[in-house]
């Protein structure tokens, strides 16, 4: 999205917010505003209901997948998402999910997952960097990021002990 379009969208979102009785920007109000083809927001939505319904079902499937947790049988037992989506898989048509055990036991997948986590933390950090109380967390993140291999050669030399050994997993709960 170019800068001009971004500015127009921001202005329209501010307009929607200013019309709200409680001063909050709500998704329902944004959709209502965007129904007008004269708005910049209009083109950001899928208005063909059959395509939108299919897209919504895909989002629902993602939500279901993300709500399955497993417990790794170790002491203490810890609960994690059973399936994870790697950025490298998202470039494929339809994306996809891998089991956490599969990802954690493959040097390449694990490296991708760690890089992805560090990237996610970077966005979080940018959002909260002004909070002085979080500086020790940022320092710890920097320490991990500085010690993590950044290329394939270093990844191949990761010792076996630095990888999670495969642990038996059982389904703990499903929240749908």
Rounded to whole angstroms, how far apart are CA atoms 111 and 115? 6
* b/e code 59-93 from CB counts within 10 Å (16+ = b): eeeeeeeeebbbbbeeeeeeeeebbbbbeeeeeee
* Residue 162 confidence class, pLDDT cut points 50, 70, 90: very low
74-132 tens-digit pLDDT: 667 788 888 889 998 888 777 788 888 888 888 899 999 999 999 899 889 999 999 99
Rounded to whole angstroms, how far apart are CA atoms 176 and 174? 6
Burial class (CB in 10 A: 0-12, 13-18, 19+), 100: buried
DSSP state of 163: S
Given this model, what pLDDT does residue 150 score? Answer: 64
* Residue 151 confidence class, pLDDT cut points 50, 70, 90: low
The pTM of this model reads: 0.59
Q: In which region does residue 61 sit, left (phi positive, over 0), alpha (psi from -120 to 50) or beta (all else)?
A: alpha
Which position has the higher pLDDT, 36 or 158?
A: 36
Rounded to whole angstroms, how far apart are CA atoms 27 and 156? 46
Q: Which two tokens stand for residue 74?
A: 């170790």
DSSP state of 41: G
Given this model, what pLDDT does residue 65 score? Answer: 87
Rounded to whole angstroms, how far apart are CA atoms 64 and 95? 15
19-60 tens-digit pLDDT: 988 888 898 999 999 999 999 999 999 999 999 999 999 999
């Amino acid at each position: 999205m170019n800068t001009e379009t971004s500015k127009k969208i921001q202005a329209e979102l501010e307009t929607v917010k200013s019309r709200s009785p409680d001063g909050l920007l709500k998704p329902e109000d944004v959709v209502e505003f965007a129904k007008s083809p004269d708005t910049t927001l209009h083109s950001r939505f899928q208005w063909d209901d059959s395509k939108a319904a299919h897209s919504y079902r895909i989002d629902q499937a993602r939500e279901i997948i993300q709500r399955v947790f497993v417990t790794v049988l170790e002491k203490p037992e810890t609960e994690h998402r059973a399936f994870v989506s790697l950025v490298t898989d998202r470039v494929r048509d339809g994306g996809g999910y891998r089991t956490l055990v599969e990802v954690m036991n493959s040097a390449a997948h694990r490296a991708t997952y760690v890089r992805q986590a560090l990237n996610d933390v970077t966005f979080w950090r940018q959002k909260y960097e002004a909070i002085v109380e979080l500086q020790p967390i940022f320092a710890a993140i920097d320490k991990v990021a500085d010690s993590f291999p950044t290329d394939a050669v270093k990844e191949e030399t990761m010792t076996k002990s630095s990888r999670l050994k495969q642990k038996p997993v059982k389904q703990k709960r499903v929240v749908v």
